[in-house]
A and B are shown apart, each in its own frame.
Chain A
Amino acid sequence: GIQVEQSPPDLILQEGANSTLRCNFSDSVNNLQWFHQNPWGQLINLFYIPSGTKQNGRLSATTVATERYSLLYISSSQTTDSGVYFCAVVRAAGNKLTFGGGTRVLVKP
């Protein structure tokens, strides 16, 4: 099956800092999503981005499908950004969402 690797596994930020999270995948994909799991366990859909660039407020994401990676940018981080960020993909000709291991982010005030 497809391999999805996220880096770094852990990230500690001071409030106001910027950061970049990375997702590498081992095969062609036709779905890529970024999720934020908040401290209460809820999975919040951030981006549907199988290719290209999108922005939503302080968050933006870029997927370079030909090079098999995606980046999530957090700018001016806030304590509410804390949690685990997951990348999930569907392999081309596949039929299920495969999740990466996540990046655990802690934003300190």
Chain B
Amino acid sequence: EAQVTQNPRYLITVTGKKLTVTCSQNMNHEYMSWYRQDPGLGLRQIYYSMNVEVTDKGDVPEGYKVSRKEKRNFPLILESPSPNQTSLYFCASSLAGYTDTQYFGPGTRLTVL
């Protein structure tokens, strides 16, 4: 089944404890991106990647890192999480870039205490 998967789906952690949210797609998509969704602020892009080893900042990149070593994987890294990073995170992918249909993962609900 063609899909975007994220792990974990739910995570409660404490301030300063490094964490990684994994994202993987099995559709051979070139483009991958991360979003966060917050009440009243909607969905905002954190980082995106046009292809392997090519990443760029979105609207809200502060406090996050990403890497794209393989085409299928695009992990989101929080080196020192803070409570303001409590949010619902989505990974998305598309075949040919931001002008193409975007497919979203199931979401990761993160709480930082």
Interface residues of A (CB under 8 A from B): 30-31, 33, 35, 41-43, 45, 48, 86, 88, 90, 94-97, 99-102
Residues of chain A within 8 A (CB-CB) of B102 are: 33, 45, 88, 97
- Count: A-B pairs, CB below 8 Å: 47
8 Å CB contact of B45 from A30, A96, A102: A96
What 4 A-B pairs are tightest by C-beta distance, nearest first?
Answer: A43-B104, A48-B101, A99-B43, A31-B99
Distance of B77 from chain A, by nearest CB (Å): 20
16 pairs, A vs B, C-beta closer than 8 Å? A30-B99, A31-B98, A33-B101, A43-B90, A43-B104, A45-B101, A48-B101, A86-B43, A88-B43, A88-B102, A96-B48, A96-B58, A97-B45, A97-B92, A99-B42, A99-B43
Judge whether B98 and A97 touch: CB under 8 Å. yes
